[in-house]
Structure 1
Amino acid sequence: MDILMLLVGLTLAVTGWFLAWDYARSLFSAYTARGRVVALQPGFGRRIPGACTPFFPVVEYLWQGQPVRFTALHEDDVTNLQIGDIIEIIFSRSRRTQTRLGRMVLTLLFMLVLVLGGMFGTALVTSKTLDLTHILLPSVVLSGCFFAIVLYLRQQDQADTGAPIQRRTSLCRLFIQEPTHVCHWMKRANCPVMGRGAFGARLCGALCMMMGVGIMAWSSVGFSRPALAGSLAPAEARQAPAAEVAPAVPEPRMTVTVQVFREN
């Protein structure tokens, strides 16, 4: 059995499950909305003599077609906002405050180590040389697995800690946590961008799982071919036509005749 290709197929199948389940579910852990500053509310509390009274913006955004308003108390982010400014609001449903790997990521990393060990072990320990297929296919699978892990950790950084990932706009950004259980993430999905991303992740995951199963089946078939060829070899030898044998030509012999003369 081709152990290296079997590990590659199994790793690809695990990556497909990771994309279709863990990564697609993590996309619903946060959603983005556009809000607008509609008013400024003065701060309350004990006033300090000589200190300026802070003003906090009242932000309005749409939730299921209905306007919702709240007062943003993020002093570091909203100090320069004015009435009419557009801001980007990121709501996080995750209950975590820091990024963690999880069991599926650790399993995927273990599979990647096995594939790398299989490649180096085949090249160094055994005398068998790796062909182009055994080099390119594991390399592509390893690259895809690392890319999936990076996407998952990137999404966790955005949903759990509110870390700025990639700013496509220059809008002010607010991060608000709404801790919700995982089972309610799918039910409250209202962001079409995240929905399309989850559909693409599930589609890629299904394709990866099918390709992984195909590679594992191909590695098993490749193992059975030598045995099949060996079992058919005697039958083919029996069915082969007999070789024509040329008739043997006798070697020439020398005949010596001896004549004896008798005296009278």
Structure 2
Amino acid sequence: MIRIAIANQKGGVGKTTTAINLATALAATGHRTLLIDLDPQGNASTGLGIPNLSREWSSYHLLLGECSVEDAVISTKVPKLDIITATQDLSGAEIELIDFEERTHRLDNALAQAQEGRWDICLIDCPPSLGLLTVNAMVAAQALLVPLQCEFFALEGLSQLLQTVDRIRARFNPALTIMGVALTMYDRRNRLTDQVADDVRACLGDVVFNTVIPRNVRLSEAPSHGLPALIYDYKCSGSEAYMGLARELIARLPQRELAA
């Protein structure tokens, strides 16, 4: 199972929207996909229509070792897409994990004990911080996908994230790679958007995906209906962009592992 963490310490850049719709697109292309909601806000869970009452076991219980991956998994309305939900309990997990041994490897250890071959790809939706939850995701992941909003402070935040990735590689996970940077909230009417996009591409080159995710009302509306945008309105520009991003992502995945 290929594990990809979707992370950026800056809030409001489209991490959860990317996680939900990318997971849906991957499932739609035939890949058995597991989405882990590691954000205490639980927006990925809500966006896939999982009510709070159905979240008996969550990523919080998984990190604390109170359940297995199989216990926590819930099937979604999307065929081939499963989710491990998040609850508000997760907000206290960073404090509770301080007393645990290997507190940075809790998620990695839990996923290592999961049923082999059940899923092809695991996406981890991280909180908007570089705390212990995000560190757990980066330690467990083989690769990182970074949603980056097309705005002035984007590169400054990206620099801080890349420094954290270097520290994770040095101490815990030397195999961690950056799968790609996805430009989000792109607005063709705004000159600054084009300038930021050009600056990011000049700085990072081929790491940046060709597909850009536009600002789109349907992407914002879909979560209130408990549906991914790809199901809510598969013809909207946002849905089409995420399908394009999924195709690019699949092309970058190690095909040998994907086939296994």
- Alignment TM-score > 0.5, same fold: no
Higher radius of gyration, 1 or 2: 1
Higher RCO (C-alpha 8 Å, min separation 6)? 1
Q: TM-score, normalised by structure 1?
A: 0.24
